A and B are shown apart, each in its own frame.
Chain A
Amino acid sequence: MTEKKLTLALMDPPYESANSTTAFRIISAALQKGIRVNVFAYEGAVCLPLKDQTPHANPVKNTTIEEEEHPTTKAFVSTLLEIGGEDRLLTWVNCGLCVDERGATNAVDGVKRGSPADFLKMAQESTNTLVIPTK
């Protein structure tokens, strides 16, 4: 295996844990190094790329949506999927059963649907695999 490839399994839903932020940082850093990354999103993590997410204003600070610039996880996923252009460096697979359970079918463009069998295949073809479980 000459080309370096990293697989991550994510489980935390969006806006729940610092694990999601760290996962995005790891994915971004790896892609910037030209390393291909596979993500298998399991359980609540399938909602990370949910297209229906909308930013919101902050009533505590009395700021508007524009002023707040609230980051959404779907925007992070979309941006990371764009890296590499036509030769996309990131493959993002959502667990289909987890998607159906949550009704989270409306994912951003580029997100694929799969099963734990895809995770096994990803792990087998990767230099390393990191599982980031819920606490």
Chain B
Amino acid sequence: MANYLFIESRDPFESRDTRFVEETATALKQRGNDVTIFLLQNGVFASRQNARNSNLAGLAQTGIRILADDFSLLERGITTAELVSGIQPSDIETLVDLLVQRDTKAIWH
């Protein structure tokens, strides 16, 4: 089992290829891997509860850990209270900790 860290920087309402991350993360989780999606930059736009067509809540229910960068949230006026259930606010220090975790494959998108 390996650790997979997806860093999603793209706005899903602008780039439909964010589906790549969702589908790959789901497939890796189904194969028993530990999977984290770290949302940052415009990637946090889908984290609002009232965002339409966001698949993040469903992903969180599969056991994929979803974190959202506090700096990116703040820049875009998204409060913690607005976040989809299952998404945890996080920070860049946590991202660094995840990056230097043993046996972690990091993919920036």
Which residues on the B side are within 8 Å of A26 (C-beta)? 92, 95-96, 99
- Cβ < 8 Å to B, chain A residues 8-52: 18-19, 22, 25-26, 29-30, 32-33, 35
Q: Does B106 contact A (CB under 8 A)?
A: yes
Check B92 against A132 for contact (C-beta < 8 Å). no
Q: Does B74 contact A (CB under 8 A)?
A: no
Q: Does B88 contact A (CB under 8 A)?
A: no
Task: A130 to B7: give the CA distance in the assembly, Å.
Answer: 10
* Secondary structure type dominating chain A contacts: mixed
Interface size on A, residues (CB 8 A): 20
Check A130 against B71 for contact (C-beta < 8 Å). no
Check B41 against A128 for contact (C-beta < 8 Å). no
* Contact A18-B9, Cβ < 8 Å, known A33-B93, A128-B106: yes
Check B41 against A35 for contact (C-beta < 8 Å). no
Contacts beyond the supplied A6-B99, A127-B100: 18 A-B pairs with Cβ under 8 Å: A6-B96, A6-B100, A18-B9, A18-B42, A19-B9, A22-B9, A22-B40, A26-B95, A26-B99, A29-B92, A29-B93, A29-B96, A30-B96, A33-B96, A128-B100, A128-B101, A128-B106, A135-B10
